Amino acid sequence: MSLLFLYFCFILVIEQALIAMNKVKTLFYFDLSSLLLITYLIILACQHDATLYDIALYRGLLGLVATRLIFALVSKLIQLNNKRLFILLLSVVVIAMLATLITLQLSLTSYAFPIVNLLASGTAFIFVYSLLFLSFCYFFKENTEIKKLITLLPTKITAWVNLQS
């Protein structure tokens, strides 16, 4: 199921990018062909007595393949520099890992109810992640991709990041 979660998260972002570029017809054809292929392969798996686990695995893997194909299409359409994009994605993963480590060090597990633990650690993670992410944007604001990213932030945060030293 985690493969499906990964697939759904990425595909929604990529589809929104295609819609923003006014490539709705391309998106429709991609979604239609993806739906037909996935349906065909799941029916084929059911005919060969695949278990529910196998079908979920096939669906997840097909989703990842579809995500990679649509990402290649978007990359071609907007002339994306894959090396720079990988560095940006890696930096986001590192920031998330640092925020996780810092949140774990805060030891917010002293509450009696699990829901309170979840809310406290979730709030701490969001706060730490946002602080690290905004700091990253501030220190690398001259990078072309970071400039594009900053334009997507709300105006008050953009003004804070663009402050002159």
Overall pTM > 0.75: no
C-alpha to C-alpha distance for 142 and 128, rounded to whole angstroms? 23
Contact by Cβ (8 Å): 39, 45: no
Closest CA to 152 of 64, 74, 87, 88: 88
Structural domain that includes position 54: 2-77
Residues 70 and 94 grouped into a single domain: no
Q: Which residues touch 146 (CB under 8 Å, ≥6 apart)?
A: 88, 137, 140
Q: Rg of the chain's alpha carbons, rounded to an integer?
A: 20
Residues 71 and 43 grouped into a single domain: yes
- Tell me which range, 22-31, 102-111, 148-157, is most confidently predicted by mean pLDDT: 22-31
pLDDT tens digit sequence for 37-75: 888 888 888 888 888 888 888 888 888 788 888 878 877
Residues 131 and 63 grouped into a single domain: no
Structure tokens at 87: 């560095």
Residues 104 and 66 grouped into a single domain: no
pLDDT tens digit sequence for 85-123: 777 777 878 888 888 888 888 766 666 677 777 788 888
| Structural domain count of the chain | 2
Residues 39 and 93 grouped into a single domain: no
Residue that terminates a domain, selected from 41, 58, 77: 77
Residues 52 and 91 grouped into a single domain: no
Structure tokens at 18: 């295609």
